[in-house]
Amino acid sequence: MNRICTLFKIKYPIIQGGMVWCSGWRLASAVSNAGGLGLLGAGSMHPETLREHIQKCKSATNKPFGVNVPLMYPDIDQLMQIIVEEKVPIIFTSAGNPKTWTSYLKSNGISVAHVVSSSKFASKCEEAGVDAIVAEGFEAGGHNGREETTTLCLIPAVRRVTTLPLLAAGGIGTGEAIMAAMALGADGVQIGTRFALSEESSAHLNFKQLALNLNEGDTKLLLKKLSPTRLINSKFSTLIEEAESRGASTEELRELLGRGRAKKGIFEGNLEEGELEIGQVSSLFRKIESVDEIMRDLIEGYHLIRQKIQDDRLFPPA
Ligand SMILES: Cc1cc2nc3c(=O)[nH]c(=O)nc-3n(C[C@H](O)[C@H](O)[C@H](O)COP(=O)(O)O)c2cc1C
């Protein structure tokens, strides 16, 4: 039995990553109903908004779902209290130190996974006592590691330092990529970009349409001095890029970024002024699909490629 499926009590080892302005109760419940694990993205919610989404998610699915909490969240105590009160069974923490909250959450019966971008931080997760690790490579949408380690290099490196259940993230959007991630040592996958562009995602239609017309090279990892973020090339990203290439200070960049940019871009669909976060893998997709269609395609794609690879004519034995 797959360790991720056993840990989270789900049918397929496919996690829908928590995503600011995309993953509310509609997306999370649709993924959980389809046999994966849906995560509410608390990073863009006020604490009481999160409570509302948790309650709506509970009415929309009787399957397990979880919450993603970026640990730099300002009202984090309040957020964690709501998660405990509402008896959410699973939490995925990111962007911070896994030691801060893991034992508190586990003592409340919550399973904890933490997102890392290096094997060094994967070891810290083990010390912190998490139940699973998400290793997220450079290709991924959203905030990212500074070292630019690709998923292809990161997964085997993390597998070497830990025996914990491992989820691969970054650049995974097809059944073939799931197969590749499992071959590298992952027990399952976390997918963001493809679900961000689904029918059930709360991202603005302008954002989805733009992201579904990208080619390779149309996103870049910027804002390394603040928090490295993969952005679609746009008027706003060009401003940031120019500032960075003339050596702008952290303060200057912070001012340029201002507040609410991700909301403006992803949720309000302002393609010029907003921060447009999406992964490299977006260039493979051209239309808005329902979560059910995506899940079916992922599972069928996985089994087709698995059969094809088993054919020795494609790669003769030694
Ligand atoms: C629009 C967007 C917003 C994201 N927001 C978050 C977030 O709030 N917290 C988090 O841990 N990861 C966030 N991520 C990362 C995803 O959870 C996931 O790990 C990543 O998208 C996987 O790589 P992929 O985009 O190649 O599928 C975001 C990704 C995208 C595309």
The string of pLDDT tens digits covering residues 97-114 is: 999 999 999 999 999 999
Characterize the bridge pairing of strands 14-16 and 166-169. Answer: unpaired
Ligand 1 mutation pick, 19, 204, 278, max ligand atoms within 8 A of CB = 19
Residue 285 confidence (pLDDT): 98
Q: Where in the chain is the domain with CATH 3.20.20.70?
A: 9-203+284-310
* pLDDT single digits (tens) 241-252: 999 999 999 999
Residue 178 confidence (pLDDT): 98
Mark the ranges of the chain whose per-residue pLDDT is less than 50: none
CB 19 within 8 A of CB 31: no
> Does ligand 1 come within 6 angstroms of the Cβ of 232?
no
The CATH H-level superfamily of 9-203+284-310 is: Aldolase class I (3.20.20.70)
306 φ, ψ (degrees, to nearest 5): -65, -45
> Does ligand 1 come within 6 angstroms of the Cβ of 94?
yes
- Measured CA to CA, the distance from residue 258 to residue 246 in angstroms comes to 19
Q: What is the residue-averaged pLDDT of the chain? A: 97
- How far is ligand 1, taken at its centre, from the CA of residue 140, in Å? 7
* pLDDT single digits (tens) 128-170: 999 999 999 999 999 999 999 999 999 999 999 999 999 999 9
Residue nearest to atom 21 of ligand 1 (CA): 192
**Which 3 state secondary structure label does DSSP give 134?**
strand
Which value, to the nearest 10 degrees, does the dihedral of the CA atoms of residues 45, 46, 50, 51 take?
A: -170
In this structure, what token pair is assigned to residue 112? 């904890």
> Does ligand 1 come within 6 angstroms of the Cβ of 70?
yes
- Measured CA to CA, the distance from residue 275 to residue 236 in angstroms comes to 7
* pLDDT single digits (tens) 288-306: 999 999 999 999 999 999 9
In this structure, what token pair is assigned to residue 69? 């909490």
CB 73 within 8 A of CB 51: no
CB 171 within 8 A of CB 151: yes
- How far is ligand 1, taken at its centre, from the CA of residue 285, in Å? 17
